[in-house]
A and B are shown apart, each in its own frame.
Chain A
């Protein structure tokens, strides 16, 4: 069975500081990996995805993530955050065998402080 762990439920950070949101997964098969962002009163929006190839993936709004197969991690990073980055961030995995099941983590609430 697959699972996704986001250890940090909340991450406060000052504006213009760097941030890393952690995501670890478990799976016995190869997976595709995703990060989604949810702003208040909205649905989830895709930030970036890892399918294959380069382990460093760049997404929208200046975010990037690095796939580490040996550590089964897919941490999200941004070198300098803005107030507008305050939102909930979800890591998700999907195996590559044709299932429709995306497994989501419990989310990390990023709060950017002025």
Chain B
């Protein structure tokens, strides 16, 4: 399997639930990203991990908690979300450090609905 794979594709959760989004990349990249895509808004960068170290954290509420156990896997743990957190969550990967012009490779996203 190649590319960036995200699971689940769709997720409906209540405001009191705890769930996790998973991302796996098979491209040999060493930087991974979480983006939030909401209608009519630019993609919002949430977190970046480079060589398994968090290098960007864009003032994301603490109800979102990322985890990067190795360079191929990235998780986004969710708890006590709000309805406005409903969006498409995209994972991406790229080469880090030696290739700043490396483009992002995206997964197909997880469509999250918070009820």
Chain A interface (Cβ < 8 Å from any Cβ of B): 4, 9, 32, 34, 36, 41-46, 49, 51, 90, 94, 96-107
- B residues near A, CB below 8 A? 4, 6, 31, 33, 40-43, 45, 48, 50, 55-56, 90, 92, 96, 100-101, 103-109
List B contacts of A45 (CB < 8 A). Answer: 106
- In the complex the two chains form, what is the Cα distance from A32 to B101 in whole Å? 7
A43 to B107, Cβ gap below 8 A?
yes
Q: Within 8 Å CB of A106, what residues of B? A: 40-42
Q: Can you name 5 A-B residue pairings with CB atoms under 8 Å? A: A43-B90, A44-B43, A44-B92, A46-B104, A100-B31
Report whether A34 and B48 are in contact in the complex, using a CB–CB cutoff of 8 Å.
Answer: no
CB pair A104–B43 under 8 Å, yes or no, is yes
Say yes or no: B100 contacts A49, CB within 8 Å. Answer: no
Measured CA separation A101–B31 after assembly (Å): 12
A4 and B42 in contact, given A32-B101, A94-B100 (Cβ under 8 angstroms): yes
- A100 B50 Cβ-Cβ under 8 A: yes
Shortest CB distance B47–A (Å): 10
Q: A105 to chain B: which residues have CB within 8 Å?
A: 42
Instruction: From A46, A97, A100, give the contact of B33 (CB < 8 A).
Output: A100
Partner of B108 from A36, A42, A96, A104 at Cβ < 8 Å: A42
B106 partner, pick from A4, A43, A99, A100, beta carbons under 8 A: A43
Nearest B residue to A4, CB-CB: B42
